[in-house]
Amino acid sequence: MAGMVPEGQSFVTSSPLQFIPWMSFSPGLGSPFPWLRELKSEERGLYLIHLLVWCANHVAAGSLENANIGLEQISQLASTDGDTMQRIAAYFNEALAYRMLKAWPGLYKALNSTKISLVSEEIHVQKLFFELCPFLKLAYVITNQAIVEAMEGEKMVHIIDFNCFEPAQWINLFQTFNARPEGPPHLRITGMHEQKEVLDHMARRLTEEAQKWDIPFQFNPVVCKLENLDLESLRVKTGEALAVSSVLQLHSLLVTDDEMHKWKVNSPSISKTDRSHRVLQMNQRTLGELLKKEPVHAYSPSSDLTSPSPLSPLSLAPAPKMGSFLTALRALSPKLIVITEQESNNSGSTLMERVMEALNFYAALFDCLESTVSRAPLERKKVEKMLFGEEIKNIIACEGVERKERHEKLEKWILRLELAGFGRVPLSYHGMLQAGRLLQTNNYDGYKIKEENGCLVICWQERPLYSISAWRFRPYD
């Protein structure tokens, strides 16, 4: 049967060509693998998934010659202009190639020494993501509703925004505050971003809108990355009710030197052969469908008694920066903290863990873009390459302190925050209704909002992609 590993051969050592026995492998003019281009869409998708996993196993094992064969075949099939499977394969292929290249630091540095990274382009692609996908819009709506409810009756409100780049979120909050029966509070927003120009723009726009809605307002810019932030410098005043908004930022504090902080990683409960079987036997038409059916089987933790429970503190990766940051944040006694994060476990210590988890997560993101935006627009390409593609590259090609995209699922965020002394604040049904109305009004078909343990998850079809949770200062007993 096609897609099955021959008995007695491992997934790492078997050639991918053995999985398509009805096709002849012979060099041809223009391409060493001419038959690859004759594959039908579904065959190509299955073959690409197999190739990516096969190639990643060889990269992880240090078998660069075999990995190079896989990269070459993937290049014949992948395309940033193709269907979902072709596009995601192109970016995973690039990420695996970058990881191989890092084996020769001199070569890697020489090839990247003249690379220009334009901050303006990075900001532009963030705004494109906001416009093309509903995820940030939903996060803002739910965050604002939680703030409005928590700040009822408060006369002085201070909001700290850890990713202050989009005025639309706070303009909407101005309107809601202005409609309060008791009138709007005196509002101070401390906006944090690493680019001064972004904060200057935010200050101008928000000041104009605050005047329009007759809201006493002050904007306090902090030019800084979250990992370098000194919370004591935020000057929280006595008598202010403090709210904190963190949208896709907190995971940056999970960065650590993996060589200095080793922790036990349990063996997968299924073999690499079985793992590849499960991926290759799926026959749905899109990459998201191919991967999402049994995503947890890619590397299920062992049920051995020595394995820590997923909800045990022992299951958390060491993160000294996160621990000290949450301790300092708690000292500010915030009335509310709203956290939006990627709903994915991309913080695994092994390459194969991260490859399989990232395939599942980004497959769903590419699928939803395929459904929402046509293939032609340059804007979509920019989001896929400069946002998703760069995240994939960081997850797969980097290690140690360079690996900043260490996403964790909601259950682990809950554990981290509760251990740090924060209490959960259930997100209201009204916030969920507002989010649902936004999806309906803008015809965002296929997106769903689900409640989970008092928190909300934003899904594409049935696949959770982002989590939103709310927290408060909890005095120690």
Binned at pLDDT 50, 70 and 90, residue 113 comes out as confident
Helix and strand totals (H; E) in the chain:
16, 9
So what's the pLDDT on residue 475?
72
Phi and psi at 362, nearest 5°, equal -75, -25
Q: Which amino acid is residue 126, in one-letter code?
A: Q
| Distance between CA atoms of residues 416 and 403, nearest Å | 20
The predicted-structure confidence for 82-100, as pLDDT tens digits, reads as follows 888 999 999 999 999 999 9
- Answer yes or no: is pLDDT of 477 > 90: no
So what's the pLDDT on residue 372?
83
| Distance between CA atoms of residues 165 and 206, nearest Å | 11
Tokens encoding 384 = 């896929």
Of 28-37, 129-138, 201-210, 460-469, least confident by mean pLDDT is 28-37
- Give the CA count within 13 Å in the CB-facing half-sphere of 173: 32
Question: How open is the CA angle 36-40-43, to the nearest 5 degrees?
Answer: 80
Of 276-285, 348-357, 382-391, 455-464, least confident by mean pLDDT is 276-285
Query: What pTM did the predictor assign?
Result: 0.83
| Distance between CA atoms of residues 297 and 410, nearest Å | 19
| Distance between CA atoms of residues 450 and 455, nearest Å | 8
Alpha helix segments (H runs only) across 102-188: 105-112, 119-132, 135-150, 167-178
Calculate mean pLDDT across residues 204-222: 94
Report domain extents, the chain: 38-108, 120-254+317-343+407-473
Nearest to 5 by CA among 272, 268, 267, 269: 272
Of 16-30, 173-187, 315-329, least confident by mean pLDDT is 16-30
Binned at pLDDT 50, 70 and 90, residue 15 comes out as very low
| Distance between CA atoms of residues 228 and 405, nearest Å | 17
CATH (one of 3.40.50.150, 3.30.390.30, 1.10.8.50, 2.40.37.20) for 120-254+317-343+407-473: 3.40.50.150
Calculate mean pLDDT across residues 91-110: 90
So what's the pLDDT on residue 232?
79
Is residue 154 helix, strand or coil? coil
| Distance between CA atoms of residues 63 and 57, nearest Å | 9
So what's the pLDDT on residue 301?
35
Binned at pLDDT 50, 70 and 90, residue 259 comes out as low
Calculate mean pLDDT across residues 128-136: 94
Is residue 175 helix, strand or coil? helix
Tokens encoding 211 = 């005047």
415 CB neighbour count, 10 Å cutoff: 17
Question: How open is the CA angle 443-289-69, to the nearest 5 degrees?
Answer: 125
The secondary structure of residue 136, as a DSSP letter, is: H
Is the distance from CB of 344 to CB of 47 less than 8 angstroms? no
Question: How open is the CA angle 472-317-296, to the nearest 5 degrees?
Answer: 95
Query: What's the Cα-to-Cα distance from 220 to each of 144, 150, 233, 236, 335, rounded to whole Å?
Result: 19, 22, 11, 11, 19
